[in-house]
């Protein structure tokens, strides 16, 4: 009984200590970029947007941001299946859904790719769900095949590739997933060099779902992680991406954007201006 009582006390205390420590770490280390107060903004940079992984938790939020953005005229979604938000977007006429199965082959989409300005890439999975070869196939082979096909169809700016890789991504990291996502980041930056494309890698913390897919438990954990800039709602991340796209002369190809940076760019997002 005495041990049970101690365990009941220690577990919540350990949780609180971990939470406080993580928030302090985030508040002290995250946030390396400051949005310029005054910078040229090319609103045509988001005229045609493509969302990949739009049926997922993160992609759904990015799609919401693009649908709500008045400066986005058209959205292409290449996907294996539809979702309520894709269906609503298609019904409104703004979203064009293209059902597809082989995400290493985009030869059928060269006309579409030729008009795309901004890509929001949230296609991926957890390393716990697939073996190493499949992880590489999804997180390296898929985006690399896409970027090569995109650059073959179009090579003049404005073009921006926004890739949600995640906190902990590191080409020299100890974990397989971190190295592979880091390799994808670096290779896409190399492919983009000398073209009109800028590649941005989002090493985000927790990307919470849009309000219409959230619930009180999710919002409770969002509140716990907010002080350390460890969480960003998906639509806010999407707005940060759109803002970075229009600031065509601000961040160079290859910029890595942490969670606090995304929050900062989402705050300065100005729709349709």
Ligand X SMILES: NC(=O)c1ccc[n+]([C@@H]2O[C@H](COP(=O)([O-])OP(=O)(O)OC[C@H]3O[C@@H](n4cnc5c(N)ncnc54)[C@H](OP(=O)(O)O)[C@@H]3O)[C@@H](O)[C@H]2O)c1
Calculate the alpha carbon distances from 2 to 5, 6, 241 in Å. Answer: 5, 6, 53
| Out of 95, 138, 147, 184, the residue judged to bind ligand X by CB under 6 A | 138
What's the closest the beta carbon of residue 246 comes to ligand X, in angstroms? 23
Nearer to ligand X, 22 or 206 (CB): 206
Touching ligand X, residues 20-49 (CB under 6 A): none
Touching ligand X, residues 193-252 (CB under 6 A): 204, 206-207
Can you tell me the distance from the alpha carbon of 35 to that of 266, in angstroms, rounded to the nearest whole number?
Answer: 10
Nearer to ligand X, 73 or 105 (CB): 105
Q: Is 57 in the site for ligand X (CB under 6 A)?
A: yes
User: At 96, phi and psi to the nearest 5?
Assistant: -115, 115
Q: Is 164 in the site for ligand X (CB under 6 A)?
A: yes
Contacting range for ligand X; rule: CB under 6 A; set: 11-19, 30-38, 51-59, 193-201 = 51-59
Q: Name which of 194, 110, 121, 187 is nearest 150 in CA terms.
A: 110
Can you tell me the distance from the alpha carbon of 227 to that of 10, in angstroms, rounded to the nearest whole number?
Answer: 23
Contacting range for ligand X; rule: CB under 6 A; set: 118-126, 185-193, 246-254, 263-271 = 118-126
CB atoms within 10 A of CB 224: 17
N residues, the chain: 273
User: At 81, phi and psi to the nearest 5?
Assistant: -155, 175
Contacting range for ligand X; rule: CB under 6 A; set: 32-40, 67-75, 86-94, 121-129 = 121-129
Contacts of 131 (CB under 8 A, 6+ apart): none
DSSP 95: E
Touching ligand X, residues 75-94 (CB under 6 A): 80-81
Q: Name which of 216, 217, 270 is nearest 244 in CA terms.
A: 270
Q: Is 53 in the site for ligand X (CB under 6 A)?
A: yes
Nearer to ligand X, 127 or 155 (CB): 127
What's the closest the beta carbon of residue 83 comes to ligand X, in angstroms? 8
Residue ranges that bind ligand X, judged by CB under 6 A: 53, 55-59, 80-81, 103, 122-125, 138, 164, 166, 204, 206-207
């Amino acid at each position: 009984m005495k041990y049970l009582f101690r365990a009941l006390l220690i577990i919540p205390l350990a949780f609180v200590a971990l939470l406080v420590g993580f928030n302090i770490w985030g508040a002290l280390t995250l946030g390396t970029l400051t949005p310029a107060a005054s910078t040229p903004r090319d609103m045509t940079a988001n005229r045609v947007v493509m969302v990949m992984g739009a049926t997922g938790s993160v992609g759904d939020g990015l799609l919401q941001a693009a649908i709500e953005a008045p400066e986005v005229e058209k959205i292409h979604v290449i996907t294996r299946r539809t979702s309520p938000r894709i269906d609503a977007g298609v019904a409104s006429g703004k979203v064009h859904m293209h059902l597809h199965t082989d995400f290493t082959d985009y030869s059928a989409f060269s006309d579409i790719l030729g008009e795309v300005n901004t890509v929001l890439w949230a296609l991926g999975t957890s390393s716990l769900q697939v073996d190493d070869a499949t992880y590489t196939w999804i997180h390296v082979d898929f985006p690399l095949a896409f970027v090569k096909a995109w650059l073959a169809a179009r090579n003049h700016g404005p073009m921006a590739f926004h890739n949600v890789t995640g906190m902990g991504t590191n080409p020299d990291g100890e974990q397989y997933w971190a190295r592979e996502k880091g390799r994808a980041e670096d290779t896409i930056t190399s492919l983009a060099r000398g073209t009109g494309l800028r590649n941005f890698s989002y090493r985000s913390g927790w990307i919470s779902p849009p309000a219409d897919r959230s619930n009180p438990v999710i919002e409770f954990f969002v509140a716990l992680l907010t002080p350390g800039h460890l969480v960003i709602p998906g639509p806010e991340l999407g707005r940060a991406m759109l803002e970075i796209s229009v600031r065509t002369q601000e961040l160079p190809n290859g910029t890595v954007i942490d969670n606090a940076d995304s929050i900062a760019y989402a705050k300065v997002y100005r729709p349709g201006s």
